[in-house]
Amino acid sequence: MAITKVWLDESNDECVSCGACEAVCGAVFSVPEKMVVKAGVDFSKYEADIKDAAESCPPGVIKFK
């Protein structure tokens, strides 16, 4: 199933702005002060990297479906 949505979920923990997501998948994530998902990205092109970024996120706040 293709990834169609990626977001920051801080309901349990907060983004620590470590930049790990941007290092793994800079095409999708940016960390100016807090992680943001770039607009207009075709997530299907970066599925493996999005999953890797979510797994490497220390507080686990990257979600996707």
pLDDT band at residue 61 using 50, 70 and 90 as cut-offs? very high
Distance in angstroms (rounded) separating the CA atoms of residues 15 and 4:
21
Question: Residue 47: its pLDDT value, please?
Answer: 97
Domain 6-64 class, CATH top level: alpha beta
In the prediction, which pLDDT does 1 show? 73
Please state, in angstroms and rounded to a whole number, the distance separating the CA atoms of residues 47 and 13. 23
The answer to whether the CB of 28 falls within 8 A of the CB of 49 is yes
The span from the CA of 31 to the CA of 15, in Å, is: 10
Could you tell me where the DSSP H helices lie in the chain?
A: 20-24, 47-56
**% residues pLDDT > 70 (the chain):** 100
pLDDT at residue number 13: 95
Tell me the pLDDT tens digit for each residue of 8-33. Answer: 999 999 999 999 999 999 999 999 98
Annotated domain spans of the chain: 6-64
